[in-house]
Structures are given as C-alpha cells and as structure tokens.
C-alpha cells in the first residue's frame, strides 16, 4: 500500500447525487412496529423498507385522498 495517494486527477462520484439524505420524520408507534416486524421477516432494515414503500408509492404516482366528506345532519 502506498504511503501517499495522488488524487489530483480524481473525478467526482457521479452517483453522489443519488445518495440517501438523512431526515427526521415523526411516525406513530404502530407504523414503526409494522415496518420493524416486516423487516425482520424479509431481513432488511426497517428504514430501508419504509424507503422502498415510499419509492414504490411515488413511482406509481399514487395520491392520498385527504378530502373529508361532510356528513349532513338532518
């Protein structure tokens, strides 16, 4: 192994823009438990599993219906 390396001709990592970004997100305990249980079954970390679910949801261009139906009292 060399004592010194010459990085003067090094190129920027083209995959660096595709790296994951650490964030803080608040999830309810039931959701976290759900993903932890599944992650143990499939053998991948639960954070990665949540990422896969979100990526699949986004790739499918799915949208949540957040509108509330008004219930009229008669």
Number of domains in the chain: 1
Please count the other Cβ atoms lying within 10 Å of the Cβ belonging to residue 44.
13
CA 21 to chain CA mean position, Å = 9
Q: How far apart are CA 34 and CA 49, in angstroms?
A: 11
pLDDT given at position 70: 66
* pLDDT-wise least confident of 6-10, 47-51, 60-64, 69-73: 69-73
- Would 1 be classed as within a structural domain? no
Q: What is the pLDDT of residues 1-52, one digit of tens each?
A: 678 888 889 888 878 777 888 899 999 999 999 999 999 999 999 999 999 9
Q: How far apart are CA 51 and CA 39, in angstroms?
A: 12
- Would 37 be classed as within a structural domain? yes
- Would 56 be classed as within a structural domain? yes
Alpha-carbon torsion (10, 12, 13, 19), positive or negative: positive
- Would 24 be classed as within a structural domain? no
Q: Domain range for residue 45?
A: 29-62
């Amino acid at each position: 192994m060399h004592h010194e390396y010459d990085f003067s001709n090094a190129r920027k990592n083209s995959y660096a823009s595709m790296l994951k970004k650490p964030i803080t997100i608040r999830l309810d305990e039931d959701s976290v438990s759900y993903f932890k249980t599944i992650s143990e079954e499939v053998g991948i970390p639960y954070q990665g599993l949540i990422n896969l679910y979100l990526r699949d949801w986004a790739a499918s261009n799915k949208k949540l219906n957040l509108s509330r139906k008004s219930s009229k009292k008669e």
